[in-house]
Copies of this chain bind each other. A is one copy, B any other.
Amino acid sequence: MQSNGAILVLSGPSGAGKSTVIERAAPHIGAFYFSISTTTRQPRAGELHGREYYFVDKARFEAGIEAGEFLEYAEVHGNYYGTSLAPVKEALEAGKLVIFDIDVQGHRLVRERLGEIVTSVFITPPSIGVLEARLRARGSDDEQTIAKRLQNAAEEITALEEYDFVIVNDDIDAATNAFIAVANASRYRPSYEKRAAFREQWLHN
């Protein structure tokens, strides 16, 4: 039962250290598939199709919506962002842990759609002040973008109660170890369907 795939949703403000945590945890969490979103927005400098996003045009995206290809999608500032179902299903069937780095709204949609097999974790910096300092130190955003990120963070933190696990990233090693534990544990949450089947088989073997 436990070799089966699982779903792990990771949310948290930009600047919480999610990418670093995933990168450091990667060698310690078994086979996983990091879900790549599809978007209609233009690629930025350095972004690659199939790495940061799958970049498609609006007509293609809307055809995908029509065909029920998306696990979840949303329109943000006139651009579509979504998660295709097919690679997720394929990874699950291969026994992989599927990791989503999505926002609190995406988490709600994924949980609604995939139910009790979803494990979710919110990674946050210790305070909004620390977040602001990190964003400034990173130096990749202008003032307006920083202000927007802080505003988003203040909204996202209100969803803290909706997550199974909360990791406060004030130490990258501790946060990584916490994430490794959550990721490995998430593989041991079989669906109710699988539990029922296991029980039947358990009693007759």
**Which residues of A approach B to under 8 Å, CB–CB?**
1-2, 121, 124, 126-130, 154, 157-158, 160-161, 164-168, 174, 177-178, 180-185, 187-190, 192, 195-196, 198-199, 201-203, 205
Contact = CB atoms under 8 A, between A and B. Distances in A.
A189 B126 CA distance: 16
Contact of A166 (B1, B158, B167, B203): B1
B165 A188 contact: yes
Contact of A164 (B128, B174, B189): B189
Contacts of A192: 161
A181 B181 contact: yes
A198 B90 CA distance: 38
Contacts of A1: 166, 168
A188 to B, nearest CB: 4
Given A199-B157, A205-B129, A2 B188 contact: no
B205 A127 contact: yes
A167 B188 contact: yes
B158 A199 contact: yes
20 contacts: A126-B205, A127-B201, A127-B205, A128-B205, A129-B205, A154-B203, A157-B202, A157-B203, A160-B198, A161-B196, A164-B189, A165-B185, A165-B188, A166-B198, A178-B184, A181-B181, A181-B182, A181-B183, A184-B185, A185-B185
Contacts of A198: 160, 166, 168
A128 B203 contact: yes
A178 B2 contact: yes
